[in-house]
Amino acid sequence: MNVELLEDSTGVALEARVACPSCAGQDAQMLSSAPDRFNGRHVSYDLKKCTRCSLVWTANAPRPEEMAQHYGSEYDRAVTTAGESLARFEWRREQLAQYKTTGSVLDIGCSSGSFLYCMQRAGWDVSGIEMSRAAAEAAEARCGAKVFIGYISEAEYKPGTFDAITAFHVLEHAYSPTDMLRRVHRWLKPGGVFYMMSPNIDSAGFRVFGSYWFALELPRHLFHFSPASLTYMANSVGLEALSVKLGREPFIENSVRYIVDAGLEKVGIRRRPLANATHPGLAKRILRKAVRKTILPLASLPMRLAGPGESIHAFFQRPL
């Protein structure tokens, strides 16, 4: 199998792969399989793990032309709601400030521009890439960001354009993350920094919840990184790691919900999937708040003992 051919043609279904898309290793093990629990669908997707570089990928992922039907307005709403708090974006700006405090930044998957807004306020020249026209226009209106609307594979910037490139929860959605990282490397100035986040498959969350772990997000997540497999892939395109850290984000509530939903379905009770969950009434909201204040903090200790953190916060640099 010609791995280069697969990496260059994003239209090739991942199921055809026998070689690891990152290291070309020929041995991959079955790790797990799970359906799209967010949408309550039943098609099962297989996770394969390379025995050489430890990369995990969704082996029988939908083809690119089929993928739109796996997103939809509920998913968009979930992403947009998650992006409403500016505090988390300010925190990300401060993290980046360890390495870069000013210059030009490109945010890949910039959504409606919350992060770029924080960066622009701090004096950065801001650009973005975003697939949704509505979100891109919101970002432009909000902070004057120059947003390319479309796929990263269609975007064109001169080599060495940016001081920093960011991609929060984007790389795992790409059909060819290697190709995306190559672009990042090319578009960064020498010494420029790439700051990204992605779920960690080598985490307590996946160890405890397995195929019910919320952050698997099948089939929208095509790749499932660990610090080791991510660093290997970044190094392979010439990016050097500055720091790769882990954060706690076990998604206990949603993962438990998936387990409960699956249990109920076995006895013939089918609840609305998470995507279509109704806004909870007052009694439910009070109960949920009580659980968040009491049980969830108690659960965080065993989660810490069960393994490493669930989200990867990684900084890479294009060498000088």
Side-chain half-sphere exposure of 255, counting CA atoms within 13 A: 21
Cβ at position 1, least distance to Zn ion in Å = 13
Binding to Zn ion by CB under 5 A, coded x per residue (else -) over 110-149, reads ----------------------------------------
Q: Are 218 and 166 in contact (CB under 8 A)?
A: no
Q: Spell out a b/e string for 44-75, using b for 16 or more CB atoms within 10 Å of the CB, else e.
A: ebbbbbbebbbbbbbbbbbeeeeeeebeeeee
Number of residues that bind Zn ion (CB under 5 A): 8
Exactly one of 3, 12, 13, 23 binds Zn ion (CB under 5 A); which one? 23
Cβ at position 52, least distance to Zn ion in Å = 5
Binding status of residue 28 toward Zn ion by CB under 5 A: no
Which stretches of 32-132 are DSSP H helices? 73-82, 86-96, 114-121
Closest-CA residue to 132 (of 158, 104, 113): 113
- How crowded is residue 77: how many other Cβ atoms within 10 Å of its Cβ? 11
Comparison of 25 and 273: residue with beta carbon closer to Zn ion:
25
Find where tokens 């609307």 sit: 149
Cβ at position 267, least distance to Zn ion in Å = 41
Binding to Zn ion by CB under 5 A, coded x per residue (else -) over 52-81, reads xx-x--------------------------
Question: Among 14-22, 41-49, 149-157, 186-194, which window interacts with Zn ion (CB under 5 A)?
Answer: 14-22
Which chain residues interact with Zn ion by CB under 5 A? Answer: 20, 22-23, 25, 50, 52-53, 55
